[in-house]
Amino acid sequence: MNKAAHYPGKLPATPPASAPGPFHCGLARFVGLSVALALLAGCGGGRETVRTAPPPSTRDWPAVTPADPASANAVLMRAISLVGTPYRYGGNTPEGGFDCSGLVNYVFSDMLDVRLPRTSRALADYQGPKVPPRQLATADLVFFGSGGSVTHVGIYVGEGRFVHAPSTGGTVRLDHLDGHYWRDHYSGAKRILR
């Protein structure tokens, strides 16, 4: 086996037995140049090909001071620190991953020793005032679903954004309530900290 063929930069100790003739070198250069030009042609083309993100918000999200700013800040900081943790159905630890309600339970338990119901549906039914979108404060829970059924929950962190564990194959992430899917499936919010 010729190791030089597999390890770039390593030259064979002896030249090959038969060097390619001038026709072979010319053809190789022509093919190489043609491929390079074809690749470069795809990079330009007169119009901008960079995709731009939609505007992050179409609504005004007023800053609402939480009733307990220190506790809300603890929830906010812990939730954001978990961004990037893998999603796992039924998961409720940073080591094992999170599903949406597992993330909410972990953050509130870890930071404030608050015990909450385990499912998004039970969290939506949990005691606490419902909160209109323009009155959301840091650490409020935001709910999503369709047809009157709650199927997802996240933690509001301010400026129209929330932290959540979205789905299999994903990770805990920060999203905007005005994102197309979330805006269309938003079903309400609850205030846990009072």
* 16: exposed, middle or buried (Cβ count in 10 Å: 0-12, 13-18, 19+): exposed
Q: Given this model, what pLDDT does residue 106 score?
A: 98
In 3D, which of 134, 178, 143, 140 has the Cα closest to residue 157? 140
- How is domain 69-190 classified at the CATH fold level? endopeptidase fold (from Nostoc punctiforme) (3.90.1720)
pLDDT tens figures, 118-140: 999 999 999 889 999 999 999 99
Q: In the block, which residue shows the tokens 């608050």?
A: 114
Contact assessment for residue 79 and residue 88, using Cβ atoms and an 8 Å cutoff: no
Q: In the block, which residue shows the tokens 């961004």?
A: 83
* 139: exposed, middle or buried (Cβ count in 10 Å: 0-12, 13-18, 19+): buried
Q: Given this model, what pLDDT does residue 22 score?
A: 52
Say which amino acid occupies 68: D
Whole-angstrom distance, CA of residue 63 vs CA of residue 158: 7
Residues in the chain: 194
Whole-angstrom distance, CA of residue 100 vs CA of residue 165: 5
Q: Given this model, what pLDDT does residue 11 score?
A: 41
Map out the domains of the chain as residue ranges: 69-190
List, by residue number, the catalytic residues: 100, 152, 164
Q: CB count, 10 Å around CB of 60?
A: 7
Q: Given this model, what pLDDT does residue 9 score?
A: 42
Whole-angstrom distance, CA of residue 155 vs CA of residue 161: 9
Residue ranges of the chain with per-residue pLDDT less than 70: 1-58
